[in-house]
Structure 1
Amino acid sequence: MRVFFDRELDTAATFWRVYRVDGVTLGFTSHDRDLSFGGIRHQAAPGMVPAAIRLTADLSADSAEVEGVLSHDSIRAGDLAAGLFDRAAIEIGIVDWESRQWRTLYAGQLGRIESDSLSFAAELQSAKQVLERDIVPRTSPTCRAAFCGRGCGLSAYRFTSLQTLEALDLYHNRVRFPGIETSKYGDGQVRFLDGPQTGIVFGVVDAADEWLTLDRPLIQGTPPGTRAELREGCDHTLATCASRFGNAINFRGEPFLPGNDLLARYGSGA
């Protein structure tokens, strides 16, 4: 295995790989020219630098950050806002730009992204981040289970359908599909199967007048006729769970538990 920095002058450069959920893979390197290795072409991006990488041998989460200049067409502010890079897998490593020997130093997932018109900064989350999740359920008046997820018990297949996009309204950030009962898709999901936002899961924040308003920006390039996977939604209340889905037995909440305001009450004389 290649040992890096074992000499005073080394032919080493850092590289980054971004594996988006829509199947697109992007590669960048701090070298002054493009490098191809591992079956991926890495674009020269000398303005992109790892701000800090911390690796540990214990169970605490490793951390890393990347800062850079929005100098590539493959990283546009609009794409970041539209969620094309959400939950993308990240690899950071080092490569010998002469022999093309390389080694991965960090692997994780893209977290919070902050950007302006000139630059961006991305927080990277290591695979050990999952170990910090709170596994103890908290009381709540609404159901804690994801609709058709673990604990809910309902079939995702039953409430998911394949539809064809009829119209897209970029100004109001909404979409329309023919022949659907719009009211069922409040708090639901839309996932395009074609086009520039393939694989991105949109949450439905409003369903009215035959339109579904989405929770993240739509971008141009998704034409009518694009296939999409639609999943109905649930407002996570006991009334909806019982009346619409007949699933009150699996309700994961405490709708009748007194709230904290009960402690502030005081008795009054008759």
Structure 2
Amino acid sequence: MKDLNPSLQNHLASGVATLAFCWILRRGDGVALGFTDHDMPIELNGVTCEPASGFNGTEIRQSASFASDDQEVTGVLSSDRITETDLISGRYDGARIETWRVNWTDATQTVLLREGYLGEIKRDRQSFQVEIRSLSVALEQERGRVYQYTCDATLGDARCGVDLSAASHGFTGTIAAMSSPTLVSVDVSGMPNMSFARGSLHIKSGDAEGMSFDVLGHSAEGNADNLELWLPIHSGAKVGDMVRVTVGCDKTFRTCRECFANQNNFRGFPHMPGNDFIISYPEQRSSSNGESLGLL
């Protein structure tokens, strides 16, 4: 049950309701966008909800179970609000969205109907359709750790402890060439002693400033480093833009120890007995002097 403020409750009881839906979209980079199905702008929590967005929402469903109750919102691709380029480039991935019911004659009379995350986005040439997943979707995700050889931490996070801002782990430079949206050549300062594969490309200037991309593969060619990205760049990156590239990690204990000297923070189980150990059996000619069997 929603708690309504007395003024909104009195307004609803009057029998003449002047209500509108408002959506506030908060991206991970701090940008907040507001939309409404009313025909005039509505100021809500410091965000101007624009009427000319073409936003239209389906019914709101909410059940008593832990299942995720999803809603869909459709809208028109607008050049100055939500662009196809931003959608493709992932600027809205994981964004939070709030659905409000507002008295458009007095925007202080509001009720928050639901909060959620942006889910699957479908688009065509002129419009888009986005799924709003409820907060309970987090309960559907697997939690805990996996008993495995490799490390389950992300390079540079709190569990890993590696400082990616160190000069030996990150390199600044510029984009030297772009063969395709997923193939980028960068000219960075210094010579990395590790591969950028499984690392990250961070764009620091230009239209794509603030965007980060995971690196799939890395090869050196002359003074340039060729990077193959997991996802394409569609946000206007061009030759000359400033970038920072960080090294990657293959999650093995050897790399953690020899490349990062971070073996004390390794989050895997490198000495876990494998299949070879399980199916092994004693042999008469085998040495049994207590040394390692070489299976780990």
* Fold-level similarity (TM above 0.5): yes
Aligned with 1:178 (options 183, 188, 193): 188
User: Aligned partners of 2:179 and 2:59: how far apart in 1?
Assistant: 38
What is the TM-score when the length of structure 1 is the normalising length?
0.80
Does residue 167 in structure 1 map to residue 183 in structure 2?
no
Aligned with 1:22 (options 20, 23, 29): 29
Q: Which amino acid aligns with 2:227?
A: L
Q: Which amino acid aligns with 1:257?
A: P
Query: How many Å apart are 1:137 and its aligned residue?
Result: 1.2
Query: How many Å apart are 1:203 and its aligned residue?
Result: 0.5
Query: How many Å apart are 1:52 and its aligned residue?
Result: 4.1
Query: How many Å apart are 1:181 and its aligned residue?
Result: 3.7
Query: How many Å apart are 1:47 and its aligned residue?
Result: 4.3
Query: How many Å apart are 1:179 and its aligned residue?
Result: 2.4
Does residue 252 in structure 1 map to residue 242 in structure 2?
no
CA RMSD of aligned residues (A): 3.3
Does residue 202 in structure 1 map to residue 210 in structure 2?
no
Query: Could you report, residue by residue, the CA deviation over 1:49-90 in whole angstroms, capped at 9, with x for unpaired residues?
Result: 3324345688x3653323213242222222211111112221
Aligned with 1:32 (options 28, 31, 39): 39
Query: How many Å apart are 1:28 and its aligned residue?
Result: 0.9
Report the equivalent of 1:65. Answer: 71
Q: What is the aligned-residue identity percentage?
A: 27
Report the equivalent of 1:268. Answer: none
> Is contact 1:32-1:46 (8 Å) kept?
no
Alignment of structure 1 residues 208-223 onto 2, 5 Å: 208-209=219-220, 210-223=225-238
Report the equivalent of 1:122. Answer: 130
Report the equivalent of 1:78. Answer: 85
Q: 1:45 to 1:103 in 2, by over 3 A?
A: farther
> Is contact 1:61-1:127 (8 Å) kept?
no
SS at match of 1:166: strand
Task: Select the structure of larger CA radius of gyration.
Answer: 2
Q: Which 5+ residue runs of structure 1 have no aligned equivalent?
A: 266-270
User: Aligned partners of 1:41 and 1:161: how far apart in 2?
Assistant: 39
What is the TM-score when the length of structure 2 is the normalising length?
0.74
SS at match of 1:137: coil
Does residue 234 in structure 1 map to residue 249 in structure 2?
yes
Q: Which amino acid aligns with 2:172?
A: Q
Query: How many Å apart are 1:207 and its aligned residue?
Result: 1.2
User: Aligned partners of 2:87 and 2:102: how far apart in 1?
Assistant: 27
Query: How many Å apart are 1:14 and its aligned residue?
Result: 0.5
> Is contact 1:65-1:121 (8 Å) kept?
no
SS at match of 2:195: helix
Aligned length: 264
Q: 1:142 to 1:42 in 2, by over 3 A?
A: same
SS at match of 1:217: coil
Q: Which amino acid aligns with 1:231?
A: T
User: Aligned partners of 1:258 and 1:220: how far apart in 2?
Assistant: 45
Report the equivalent of 1:148. Answer: 156
